[in-house]
């Protein structure tokens, strides 16, 4: 910590400089017209620059899990989702606080159902018992390190469209979404009697989702 001199000390400094000049002259040394004395306490030190804020982004996946067992459906039973929008962002709000703004956007349309025959065939061939009622989850590129489930501010719309005539036969919105503690899974919660219908052959599915949350996270 630099020291600070009181204004009254300026006289003592001037006297000290006068003595220096006098002694140099007595030694018959040439003295420059101007003698510069550096006093560290009077010099400004450069301000310490703060580290850059932590920011980043990545991609998400829309993945289905079996409602009865909680297991993730294997790739053969996952609908083929090709998003037109897919961005997950995180941004530190202020250093050194670990407070982050998390946001995401995901959109996909024309998602085809997986035939029920494929589900039945897979169970028969592999001795499994996957059902046709799923749990919908978004897989994030980083984990929730807040130490608790984080409820998200979100908008999510699911339209189920009749392939034959293009009409929307059902419009579904989850009740809430939560980023599960110590995982990279955001779970979408629907009403008890409402769920996605990824298995069948007469519908296509459009999804539009956006969310955000601010919380303390351990992100490097």
Query: What is the dihedral angle through the alpha carbons of 30, 35, 40, 42, rounded to the nearest 10 degrees?
Result: 160
Provide, rounded to the nearest whole percent, the portion of the chain with pLDDT above 70. Answer: 78
Give the integer Cα–Cα distance in Å for 73 and 191.
Answer: 21
Give the integer Cα–Cα distance in Å for 122 and 73.
Answer: 11
pLDDT at position 133 is 95
pLDDT at position 103 is 98
Residue 6 predicted with pLDDT over 70: no
Lowest pLDDT segment from 31-35, 62-66, 139-143? 31-35
> Which single residue is written with the structure tokens 């301000």?
47
- Judging by beta carbons within 10 Å of its beta carbon (0-12, 13-18, 19+), is residue 135 exposed, middle or buried? buried
Take residue 181 and report the two structure tokens written for it: 């503690």
Which one, of 103, 100, 77, 78, lies nearest residue 89 by Cα?
Answer: 103
Give the integer Cα–Cα distance in Å for 151 and 187.
Answer: 10
Domain positions in the chain are 7-42, 55-216
Whole-number mean pLDDT of the chain?
87
The tens digit of pLDDT for each residue in 121-163 reads: 999 999 999 999 999 999 999 999 999 999 999 999 999 999 9
pLDDT category at 2 given cuts 50, 70, 90 is very low
pLDDT category at 1 given cuts 50, 70, 90 is very low
Q: In the β-sheet with 176-179, what is the strand arrangement from edge to edge?
A: 61-66, 134-139, 185-189, 176-179, 150-151
Average pLDDT over residues 78-96: 96
Take residue 18 and report the two structure tokens written for it: 């006068």
Residue 84 contacts residue 111 (beta carbons within 8 Å): no
pTM of this structure: 0.75
Which one, of 103, 107, 85, lies nearest residue 157 by Cα?
Answer: 107
Give the integer Cα–Cα distance in Å for 136 and 185.
Answer: 10
pLDDT at position 83 is 97
SS3 of 28, please? Answer: coil
Which one, of 113, 76, 103, 126, lies nearest residue 211 by Cα?
Answer: 103
More confident residue, 192 or 71: 71
pLDDT at position 27 is 57
């Amino acid at each position: 910590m630099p020291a600070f001199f009181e204004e009254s000390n300026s006289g003592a400094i001037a006297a000290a400089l006068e003595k220096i000049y006098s002694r140099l002259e007595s030694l018959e040394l040439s003295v420059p017209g101007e003698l510069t004395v550096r006093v560290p306490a009077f010099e400004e030190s450069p301000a310490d620059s703060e580290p850059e804020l932590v920011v980043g982004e990545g991609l998400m996946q829309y993945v289905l899990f079996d409602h009865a067992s909680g297991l993730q459906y294997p790739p053969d039973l996952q609908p083929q989702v090709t998003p037109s929008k897919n961005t997950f962002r995180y941004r530190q709000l202020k250093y050194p606080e670990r407070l982050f703004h998390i946001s995401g956007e995901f959109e996909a349309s024309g998602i085809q159902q997986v035939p029920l025959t494929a589900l039945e065939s897979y169970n028969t061939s592999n001795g499994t018992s996957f059902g046709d009622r799923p749990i919908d989850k978004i897989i994030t590129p980083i984990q929730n390190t807040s130490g608790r489930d984080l409820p998200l501010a979100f908008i999510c719309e699911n339209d189920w469209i009749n392939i034959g005539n293009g009409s929307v036969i059902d419009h579904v919105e989850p009740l809430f979404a939560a980023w599960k503690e110590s995982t990279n899974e955001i779970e979408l919660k629907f009403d008890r009697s409402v769920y996605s219908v990824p298995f069948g052959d007469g519908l296509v599915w459009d999804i539009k989702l956006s969310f955000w949350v601010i919380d303390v996270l351990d992100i490097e």
